[in-house]
Amino acid sequence: MIEEAHYIRTGAWCACCRSCNAVTGQLEAGLSVYECDRDSSGWRPLGEAWSKRKLAVGNHFLGRKLWYLVTGRRLATDGSDNEPLLAEVKFASMLQWESKPGVFLEIQGPAPKNCKHDGYEDGVCRCEQISLGGLVSENP
């Protein structure tokens, strides 16, 4: 039996499972994630997008975010930072960054709740406002 592919995601996500590019304000086709592979130490992040992120923020600061192990349907297109994009995202577990040996460990914790963006009613997707030409970067 083939094991379902897993990915690493930082932070909760919107119910629409679409990421908003922080630089351009444009919607991605799906939810931005990082590729990973499991080895004897834990979940090891892989790929060009992860290399860029690690270089930009440094090893130490990676531990200050909420990280999740997720599954989903990988889209044929990648995001603007060459990261995989997923649809139908499912939570698998919470993760904790361990700078040495540079892996994520699975930890106990709740599944993330869909983002509730300031200034938007419950159940209203901020991304829908963006796609309709509304506000692009108000408290993302």
Query: Is the pTM higher than 0.85?
Result: no
- What pLDDT is attached to residue 52? 84
Exposed, middle or buried, 19 (CB in 10 Å: 0-12/13-18/19+)?
buried
Its domain, for residue 83, covers 7-131
User: Is residue 2 one of the residues assigned to a domain?
Assistant: no
- What pLDDT is attached to residue 71? 97
User: Is residue 113 one of the residues assigned to a domain?
Assistant: yes
- What pLDDT is attached to residue 129? 47
Cβ atoms of 29 and 19 closer than 8 Å = no
- What pLDDT is attached to residue 73? 96
**In 3D, which of 33, 46, 11 has the Cα closest to residue 88?**
33
pLDDT digits (tens, 9 = 90+) for 35-75: 999 999 999 999 998 888 777 766 656 667 789 999 999 99
The stretches in the chain having pLDDT less than 70 are 1-2, 22, 57-63, 115-140
User: Is residue 47 one of the residues assigned to a domain?
Assistant: yes
- Total count of domains within the chain: 1
- What pLDDT is attached to residue 54? 75
